[in-house]
Amino acid sequence: MNINRLFCLPKFSIHRIEYSINTVKVFASIKTKRSRCPASGKNSSSIHDYYYRSITDPQVFQNASVIILKARKFRRMNPKCHHKFFYEQTGSVLRYSRRTTRTGKILDSLSVELTDNLGSQLSKQIFLGVSISPIIRIAHNQQLPVIKQPRVLGVDD
């Protein structure tokens, strides 16, 4: 089996994997050579700096998994932008978050189906380790289902 398919990270380049007691650490970077500015939409390949993000991913073989992502900071190519730099983003990792989209979907389900305390306890059992406050925050950010209003309303005697 290909390791990229196991972690389901198609746009990432995996450099090495370390295993310690109950934890799998995956060291990766994003494959693309350039990134798109979120404000102007222009592509930039001018790298200003690197930084590391620690991202939680669902468990692998009964072990907690953490992705150590080497991300890049790019210079903006549009001189009219009021900020000079931007950080690259990918669809596999939630923006401004320390978890992948797969982990986000699992926590969405836990927050809706369980109470805050039970959701927190179950997340620790499946090696995601989220406390009560984020479970409550995730539950409050859920979209409510669309409720259809009846066109005709009958009243029984």
Write the DSSP string, 8-74.
T-TTEEEEEEEEETTEEEEEEEE--S-EE-TTT--EE--EEEEEEEEEEEEEETTEEEEEEEEEEEE
**Residue ranges of domains in the chain:** 1-92, 100-143
Exposed e or buried b per residue across 68-93, where buried means at least 16 C-beta atoms within 10 angstroms of its C-beta: bbebbebebeeeeeeeeebbbebebb
DSSP state of 2: -
- pLDDT band (50, 70, 90) for residue 7: low
| 68 within 8 A of 28, measured Cβ to Cβ | yes
> Among 67, 63, 70, 65, which Cα is nearest to 47's?
70
| pLDDT in the model for residue 8 | 64
Q: What local confidence, expressed as pLDDT, does residue 36 receive?
A: 74
Helix or strand or coil: residue 144? coil
pLDDT, tens digit (0-9, with 9 covering 90-100), for 120-131:
888 888 878 788
What is the per-residue pLDDT for 5? 59
Nearest-CA neighbor of 27 among 39, 37, 15, 10? Answer: 15
Rounded Cα–Cα distance for residues 42 and 48 (Å): 16
Asked whether residue 1 carries a pLDDT value surpassing 60, the answer given is no
pLDDT digits (tens, 9 = 90+) for 29-56: 888 787 777 777 777 777 788 888 888 8
Strand partners, 70: 29, 52
